[in-house]
Amino acid sequence: MKESAGGRLLIAGTGSGCGKTTAMCGLLYGLKQQGVRIAAYKCGPDYIDPMFHREVLGIPSGNLDSYFTDADVLHAMVDRRCHDADLILIEGVMGYYDGIGMTDRGSSHEIAEITETPAVLVVNGRGMANSVGALLRGFLSYGNNESSTIKGVIFNQISERMYPKLSGLAQREGIRPLGFIPQQCAFTMQSRHLGLMMPEEMQDFQNKLSDLYEIIKNTVDWEGLLKLSKEATVSHSITSGKTMVPNSRICRIGIARDESFCFLYEDNLRYLKEKNCELTFFSPLHDKEVPGNIDGMILPGGYPELYAKELSENRSMKQSVRDRIAGGLPCIAECGGYLYLQKELADEQGKCYRMADVLPGSAKKGAGLHHFGYVEVSLNPGRTLFGKNNIRFRAHEFHYYDCEPGGGDFTAEKASGEGSWQTGFASDTLYGGFPHIYYYGNETFVDAFLDQCVKYRLKRT
Task: Please answer whether residues 264 and 255 qualify as being in contact, where contact means their C-beta atoms are separated by less than 8 angstroms.
Answer: yes
As a whole number of angstroms, the distance between CA 21 and CA 427 comes to 40
The 10 Å Cβ neighbour count of residue 373 is 17
The question of whether 185 is a catalytic residue gets the answer no
Task: Please answer whether residues 18 and 123 qualify as being in contact, where contact means their C-beta atoms are separated by less than 8 angstroms.
Answer: yes
Catalytic residue among 18, 277, 331, 335: 335
The residues that are catalytic are 335
